A = this chain, B = another copy of it.
Amino acid sequence: MQKKSLKEQGYKLTKPRQLILDFFSRRSQPASVNQIYRALKAKIDKVTVYRVLAVLQEVGLIFEEPGEKESLYYAAKKQHHHIVCRVCGLSQCLPCTHFFSKIKNFSAIEHKMTISGLCKKCAH
């Protein structure tokens, strides 16, 4: 189960970490730092949100996502494709297998694709 993973990798299972894991277990869409912070404002500091997200990412429990409006998005599952509304930032995930053919309720204007890896120089 999820909660063991943190301990297994030598991290403490603290209240803020629990709260953010719970947040993601209740939510299927990606979330920005601010969305997470707003949801937990009463309970944890914003700095802590950043730090917890960094740890959870390191441990592989959440993943960074590209988003248009606010800069960093995170999600509980690694997903490679999404459509993002340019106006309100609404983000919808597309399973790879379905891809273009399944886009609904969106007038697609353009796409951007980035393949990140290591160039010859940096690959040692």
Q: Which residues of A contact B (CB under 8 A)?
A: 65-66, 68, 71, 80-88, 90, 92, 103, 105-123
Which of the listed residues A107, A112, A122 has the most CB atoms from chain B within 10 Å of its own CB? A112
A83: contacting residue among B68, B92, B116, CB under 8 A: B116
Q: Is the interface of A mostly helix, strand, loop or mixed?
A: strand
Q: Are B111 and A116 in contact (CB under 8 A)?
A: yes
A85-B115 in contact (CB<8A): no
> Are B121 and A86 in touch, CB under 8 angstroms?
no
- Given the known interface contacts A107-B123, A123-B107, the answer about A116 and B80 at a Cβ–Cβ threshold of 8 Å is no
A/B interface sample: 23 pairs, CB < 8 A? A65-B112, A66-B66, A66-B112, A66-B114, A68-B114, A71-B71, A84-B114, A85-B116, A85-B122, A86-B116, A87-B122, A88-B121, A90-B119, A90-B121, A106-B118, A107-B117, A107-B123, A108-B117, A109-B116, A110-B116, A110-B117, A111-B116, A112-B116
Query: How far is B68's CA from A18's CA once the two chains are assembled, in angstroms?
Result: 30
